[in-house]
């Protein structure tokens, strides 16, 4: 029941992952789906309704219509985004400006750079799932090469063994000992022979 002047769903960055959403949104509510391809097309202004938050205003964007038609439009006055999502992948060249534009908004967002980091980091995800959600994870041995604030000092996640290495070049014996203990431990018995496709995990993380 919303029209393009009532709702603006903004997609920041690459359209590739969101193309089906853009096309379907253009069919159901023509003009409401707006793709923002450049940080120069949007601006952040202090929110009038949520102190400390920001509103995202779009001066340009690619809007989608019925039948997959799209058009590059200039919005005067700028359109205020009611929902924002985009390519929040850490390390992505677009992730910098996308994450910055979507930070601390006064409207719902479909993600953030910190959330993408947590979801894409296997070690962090396993610690969260095992320690906080009480979900089983594969037996895991991880070597951390530097201090990381996003990991607990002493992980309490069942099945996750975290070894911190100050100088990996001089700790080969420790690594070998830890790997041997891990592979020979009771946690790995159900998996039989460990190969490249094994369910357990042995790895290092920067």
User: Tens digit of pLDDT per residue, the chain (206 long)?
Assistant: 555 567 899 999 989 989 999 999 999 989 999 999 999 999 999 999 999 999 999 999 999 999 889 999 999 999 999 999 998 876 665 558 998 999 999 999 998 888 877 777 788 778 777 777 777 888 888 888 766 666 766 656 777 888 888 776 777 888 888 898 888 888 787 776 545 444 455 555 55
pTM of the model: 0.63
Instruction: Please state whether beta strands 42-46 and 54-64 pair in parallel, antiparallel, or not at all (unpaired).
Output: antiparallel
Sequence-separated contacts (24+) of 160-165 with Cβ below 8 Å: 160/123, 160/126, 160/127, 160/130, 160/131, 162/123
Q: State how far the alpha carbon of 23 is from the alpha carbons of 63, 111, 196, in Å.
A: 10, 21, 40
Q: Check residue 172 and report its DSSP letter.
A: H
Tokens of 130: 């095992």
């Amino acid at each position: 029941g919303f029209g393009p002047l009532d709702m603006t769903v903004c997609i920041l960055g690459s359209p590739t992952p969101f193309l089906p959403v853009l096309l379907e949104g253009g069919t159901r509510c023509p003009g409401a789906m707006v793709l923002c391809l450049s940080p120069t097309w949007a601006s952040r202004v202090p929110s009038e309704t949520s102190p400390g938050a920001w509103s995202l205003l779009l001066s340009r964007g690619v809007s989608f219509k019925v039948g997959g038609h799209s058009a590059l439009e200039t919005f005067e006055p700028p359109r205020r985004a009611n929902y924002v999502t985009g390519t929040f992948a850490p390390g992505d060249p677009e992730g910098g400006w996308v994450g910055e534009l979507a930070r601390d908004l006064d409207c719902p967002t479909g993600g953030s750079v910190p959330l993408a980091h947590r979801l894409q980091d296997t070690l962090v995800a396993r610690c969260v799932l095992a320690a906080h959600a009480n979900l089983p994870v594969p037996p895991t041995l991880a070597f951390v090469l530097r201090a990381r604030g996003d990991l607990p000092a002493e992980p309490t996640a069942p099945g996750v063994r975290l070894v911190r290495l100050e100088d990996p070049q001089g700790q080969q014996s420790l690594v070998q000992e830890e790997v041997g203990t891990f592979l020979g431990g009771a946690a790995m018995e159900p998996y039989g022979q460990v190969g490249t496709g094994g369910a357990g995990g042995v790895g290092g993380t920067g």
